[in-house]
Amino acid sequence: MIITLTTDFGLTDPFVGIMKGVILEIAPGVQIVDITHEVPSYDINEGAFMLDSAWRYFPVGTIHVVVVDPGVGSARRPIATSVNGHTFVAPDNGVLSWVFRSGAAVTHHITNASWFNPVVSKTFHGRDVFAPVAAHLARGDALDAVGPVISDYRQLPLPEVRFLPGNRLAGTVLRIDRFGNIITNLQRKHLAGSFRIRTGTAEVRRVASNYTEGPSGEVFAIEGSTGYIELSINQGSAAERFGVRCGSEIEVETGGANQ
């Protein structure tokens, strides 16, 4: 059985190690995999997208724990959701919004305190609620036992490509990766004909088939590994060149033939 962890805890503090100890105390032998612990602090939107890039590559039956939880200790609910054979344990703050879009979800409000740590702190539900609940599920306890099914769980509006007058499209930057690649919510079909993306001094007119084919310093579009269009420079940072960040709008002028 596999449990994955996605948090904004970083790896400097012992928080992640503590969660793993809690899991292994309850569910010995479970395999724990880090997706990332470097979600920007409190950034539910970016955490939601990072999780969505990863979870579908794990085997059916995997339990995914997501702790990006600025509301820890407040009235926000903890939830557990089953989608496409995967289970997600997270705060009900929208961090599962991308997951919900990928299939029919059965979502439970986590109320079964007998699965929690004996003392639940006000500040670390990763340790006291989410890790032990995931561990109970990993050792075979039923999802139904976690608490009642709910339908009013929180879903954030996800950025959609907008079609503007004058053969223009507006996309959104979903995130910037380590290499400075700009991951947008545009898809290949949006750049089917001729197009131009301009921001400041950079201009993109071409969808490349790999990182190395263009001249050095050229900014190009490429279909990235998430299925979305990315703006990139061969061995350079497109994000710095464009001056954009997560959530920025990307405007595309199209040749007119794009749907």
Judged by the rule CB under 8 A, the positions of this chain that interact with a copy of itself are 2, 4, 6, 9-18, 20-22, 24-25, 28-29, 31-38, 41-42, 50-51, 53-55, 57-59, 62, 70-74, 121-124, 127-128, 177-179, 209-213, 222-225, 230, 234-235
At its nearest, how many Å lie between a copy of itself and the CB of residue 80? 20
Nearer to a copy of itself, 91 or 171 (CB): 91
At closest approach, how far in Å is the CB of 182 from a copy of itself? 13
For 173-185, letters b (16+ CB in 10 Å) and e give bbbbbeebbbbbb
- CA-CA distance, 231 to 197, in Å (whole number)? 10
Buried b (16+ CB within 10 A) or exposed e, 93-128: bbbbbbbbeeeebebbbbebeebbbeeeeeebbbbb
> What minimum distance in Å lies between the beta carbon of 144 and a copy of itself?
26
Please state the closest distance from residue 13 (CB atom) to a copy of itself, in A. Answer: 5
Three-state DSSP at 24 gives: helix
Question: Please, which residue, 6 or 81, has the CB nearer to a copy of itself?
Answer: 6
Q: Which is nearer to a copy of itself, 71 or 159 (CB)?
A: 71
**What minimum distance in Å lies between the beta carbon of 142 and a copy of itself?**
22
Q: Which is nearer to a copy of itself, 20 or 168 (CB)?
A: 20
Q: Would you say 227 or 256 has its CB closer to a copy of itself?
A: 227
First to last CA, the chain: 44
* Phi, psi at 254, each rounded to 5°: -105, 165
Beta carbons of 184 and 153 less than 8 angstroms apart:
no
